[in-house]
Structure 1
């Protein structure tokens, strides 16, 4: 990154009188603009731990709590500032007895809706569902495309008009692409319309993973967690959600050569900056794909979500969950 501003700031030490968990990691700036989004003294705080692979965080405003999944553990957890972390739903995904063909039986990505319900990428059950946190009931929204079962839906994003975008890599299946249970010929990026119809919008990515929308909802971002092509794709959408054009937004090949991880989950701030799981941590980029900085937890980061007042960034990071106060505001929160 020759010629770029580079500084590293360790997280500030915890205040002995302040509630919360252990301070971990550090923030690293590649560009001075980074600190307008993430303070130099940002404290990365571990708030829950003991998971196999934490994923899919979503802040439920009605109730003021975070939901996230331990995908291999087939368990959904709940965390709030008052109550801490607890098991919320088990199983979170596949509830049957025959798990022989499943690599990850649990649910994965979550997307909270304004009504209080949560959209669920149910990897183990191989479907997209709506989940009611009050009744803990699931309603299946889509389970097949062209008569064939999905592989293992991974992440999900909802537009304001109710149109849903999701990714479907085969990570939930034993053998992944070689699984005998795999029915789809591609690992797709899909659009689910409000009438229940499903449309394949890209079948060319090897491992489409995290998905998010721009503030104007006219650009869809997808992370490709392929070590041979670790990129983020930007799709320009029309009003119906059809793809007008497709481009590589950013490439993490150089990062993958130096650190573990891959483009995974991501979230977007109200001003259009991307906070994206990447080799080395959570990469912060502007809407052109320019790297501004990195939030490092010391472990692989799988996903992120804004919560609380919109300026707390939650990170699912392998065996634990962390949060960090930022200057950016998440989409859907008042500035």
Structure 2
């Protein structure tokens, strides 16, 4: 057990520098079925997230509150932005990755691999070279709750890299039980990917793995970075110091670049995902199962969306 201070639990003295003494966890919005896929729009000072079973995306604007951003959303899950500021979304129901253009139109980027439909794209990140990296577990085809129950056509749970310039989709990892959240280190030398196999296997994986990014487009050096307890690392983000802020059953866990647990932000809801936002990128928006929370911290998120 660490030292409990209000909404925080400290396991390493370094975590104190990431806490702001007058900032506590705040409820942003509740009454949803399952919050996921947060993405912050710095140019508009608002953030968007997915409410997967309700088949909609929501938007929060500081001072104006919450409204529906898109409905239906094809049971969207993970979201991010590319380097041109366009929204990239993973859709469970349609089993595809899409891009929302500046004029609001939607472009289908990828929906199959070698002629076989994707499972249900889950989470996504865009590298500085414009390539799109995403995970493809079968959560959206295992039942009708967050997609549509269907058989897997690929027969595998891949991690993909998509190059929109060449319109080329390649497998970068194929040995995950349930590949889920992913994020690059600030210098993009490493890619972190979580495996949430424990959701459907009591002895399954509940860890984050770290890969070296080779030549900008391949992965090597697979190692287990951390095992997350309690719960799983569904989604996570990296800050400018290289720390990994991960979802867990009891809140948000902060891990150093070396994999040490620095501390926790305790949340009264199982956390699925999070993102950095705000004008200085130092406001964490936390996706609880049924509610969204926020808290300011003493470090900014990495520059990528």
Q: Determine if the TM-score, normalized by the shorter chain, exceeds 0.5.
A: yes
1:77-98 CA distance string (max 9 Å, x none):
01011211111100112xxxxx
Which of the residues 3, 16, 22 maps onto 1:7?
3
Matched with 1:96 is none
C-alpha contact 2:249 2:269 (8 A) present in aligned 1: no
Within the alignment, does 1:239 sit opposite 2:219 as a pair?
no
1:58-78 CA distance string (max 9 Å, x none):
001121110001011110001
CA–CA distance in structure 2, aligned partners of residues 117 and 180 of structure 1: 30
C-alpha contact 1:218 1:239 (8 A) present in aligned 2: no
Which of the residues 88, 94, 113 maps onto 2:82?
113
Pick closer, same or farther for the CA change 1:46–1:291 going to 2, 3 Å.
same
In the TM superposition, residue 238 of structure 1 has moved relative to its aligned partner by 1.5
Within the alignment, does 1:306 sit opposite 2:282 as a pair?
no
In the TM superposition, residue 123 of structure 1 has moved relative to its aligned partner by 1.7
In the TM superposition, residue 40 of structure 1 has moved relative to its aligned partner by 4.9
Query: Aligned runs of 1:56-205 on 2, under 5 Å?
Result: 56-93=37-74, 106-132=75-101, 135-175=103-143, 180-194=150-164, 195-205=166-176
Q: How many residues align?
A: 294
User: TM-score under structure 2 normalisation?
Assistant: 0.92
CA–CA distance in structure 1, aligned partners of residues 22 and 205 of structure 2: 34
Matched with 1:18 is none
| SS of the residue 2:141 aligns to | coil
CA–CA distance in structure 2, aligned partners of residues 86 and 239 of structure 1: 42
C-alpha contact 1:9 1:41 (8 A) present in aligned 2: no
Larger fraction in strand: 2
Bigger radius of gyration, 1 or 2? 1
Matched with 2:178 is 207
| SS of the residue 2:16 aligns to | helix
CA–CA distance in structure 2, aligned partners of residues 88 and 203 of structure 1: 34
Matched with 2:15 is 34
1:130-150 CA distance string (max 9 Å, x none):
113x64321111111121111
Cα RMSD after superposing both structures: 1.8
Matched with 2:253 is 283
Specify every segment of 5 or more residues in structure 1 that has no aligned partner in the other structure, as ranges.
11-25, 94-105
| SS of the residue 1:302 aligns to | strand
1:252-297 CA distance string (max 9 Å, x none):
2xx23xxxx3110001101111001123211100112111111111
Specify every segment of 5 or more residues in structure 2 that has no aligned partner in the other structure, as ranges.
199-203
Within the alignment, does 1:296 sit opposite 2:300 as a pair?
no
